[in-house]
Amino acid sequence: MTPPTELRVSRDRRELTVTFGETAYRLPAELLRVLSPSAEVQGHSPDQRVTVPGKREVAIRAIEPVGNYAVRILFDDGHDTGLFTWVYLDTLGKEREVRWASYLSELEEKGLSRG
């Protein structure tokens, strides 16, 4: 997949706009944080995946390029181990509503909150 034509963090640091050609996705920092592709969040298998609560106010501290295939997003809560590939960012953009609804359901099922 080709790199995005634009990666832009909002002024309040709470949203990342990722543009692939004519398609732009606005991805909230909270969504990116709780769905981080890091092993800390995803585990090493599906049954190890962690539901991350309390990230309603998380912000993006910085973005670092990783080769020609990904970025590392550094969050203000100290999390910085996820490599967001272009494919994963595109998938999050396309599936944002479904993944967000699933996350909210998981929080409710586990008695957790967005914080």
Domain ranges of the chain: 6-109
Confidence at residue 47, expressed as pLDDT on a 0 to 100 scale: 82
Domain at 6-109: CATH architecture: 2-Layer Sandwich (3.30)
User: Could you tell me the pTM of the whole model?
Assistant: 0.95
Can you list the residues of the chain whose pLDDT is less than 50?
Answer: none
Confidence at residue 30, expressed as pLDDT on a 0 to 100 scale: 98
The closest of 112, 115, 7 to 63, measured between CA atoms, is 7
Q: Which residues pair with 63 in a beta bridge?
A: 73
Confidence at residue 23, expressed as pLDDT on a 0 to 100 scale: 97
Confidence at residue 46, expressed as pLDDT on a 0 to 100 scale: 78
Confidence at residue 43, expressed as pLDDT on a 0 to 100 scale: 81
